[in-house]
Amino acid sequence: MIDMHCHLLPGVDDGPRDWDESLALVRQGAEDGIKAALVTPHLGELNPEYAEVVKEKFSELVGRVREEGIDMRLILGAEVAFDLGLERLKEFGLGTFGGRYFLLELLPLGFVSPRLEEVLFNLHLEGLRPVLAHIERYPGLVDDTKRLEKLVRTGALLQVNAEAFLRKQARTVLKLVRMGLVHIVGSDAHDPLSRPMRMAEAYGVVKEKLGARMAERIFEETPEALLSGEEVDLEPMAKEEGSIFGRIVQRLRGT
């Protein structure tokens, strides 16, 4: 599995407090079966000094993980706050991965700006491809499959947290996965106890409910493709859950 959203760097955001906690998280993820992780510290403004600190801590993390003999590939990204002059992100040197993708956090949490589509369109013109972080946290968005489909068609990708598959929202997010409206998954780990680096249980739920192919796709294949900077097929797959047409399409596709 590839974890596409986690906070592993100590003392830069609300993630781990020190190196012990940071390494405990990575160890926890490795034991859970996570082979690679996109490290996504919060990025609230395009501040070059903060970016330097983040990069230094990331290289130190890579060194410490290697020294400890933990088998996990780490890639540096960021969880970028909405509305900070995002068009300049490409030159900023922190935040993007695979040359054009970046994890975008809509703020404040739970609120979706009416300007979202306009901002995404402008980013698209700049050659940037945002991945909307933990869409399950935005009630007005996660239930609006029409708007999600439209966002995907304008070039956005969608991420959910692994935990969402284990809670009340499981039904909702499984429906979105089935419709092709979830592209990648992350643990959104912050510390080993309250927000751990775990995804295996969620992988098991997706595999059981939607089949092994789908689990591989959103936990491994699409993440790997994005990290390599490849274009991915974002076309939503099936119509509404429960429609006969949708079910037939799913059968034919083996999902």
Residues that contact Fe ion, how many (by CB under 5 A): 2
Q: Does position 136 bind Fe ion by CB under 5 A?
A: no
Q: Which is nearer to Fe ion, 44 or 236 (CB)?
A: 44
Residue closest to 126 by CA, chosen among 94, 154, 86: 86
Rounded-to-integer distance, Cα 186 and Cα 176, Å: 16
Q: Does position 163 bind Fe ion by CB under 5 A?
A: no
Rounded-to-integer distance, Cα 45 and Cα 2, Å: 27
Q: Which is nearer to Fe ion, 98 or 186 (CB)?
A: 186
- Taking the complex as a whole, the smallest distance from the CB of residue 194 to Fe ion amounts, in Å, to 13
Give the alpha-carbon dihedral of 31, 14, 10, 26, to 10 degrees: 10
The H-or-E segment that residue 130 falls in is strand 129-132
Q: Which is nearer to Fe ion, 129 or 190 (CB)?
A: 190
Q: Does position 79 bind Fe ion by CB under 5 A?
A: yes
Three-state secondary-structure class, residue 104: strand
Q: Which is nearer to Fe ion, 63 or 139 (CB)?
A: 139
Q: How far is CA 153 from CA 82, 109, 236, in A?
A: 20, 23, 8
Q: Does position 188 bind Fe ion by CB under 5 A?
A: yes
- Taking the complex as a whole, the smallest distance from the CB of residue 95 to Fe ion amounts, in Å, to 13
The one-letter amino acid code at 251 reads: R
Q: Which is nearer to Fe ion, 79 or 163 (CB)?
A: 79
- Taking the complex as a whole, the smallest distance from the CB of residue 110 to Fe ion amounts, in Å, to 14
What would the two tokens of residue 155 be? 């070039």
- Taking the complex as a whole, the smallest distance from the CB of residue 225 to Fe ion amounts, in Å, to 22
CB-CB contact of 169 with 139 (8 Å) = no
- Taking the complex as a whole, the smallest distance from the CB of residue 45 to Fe ion amounts, in Å, to 16
* Site residues for Fe ion per CB under 5 A: 79, 188
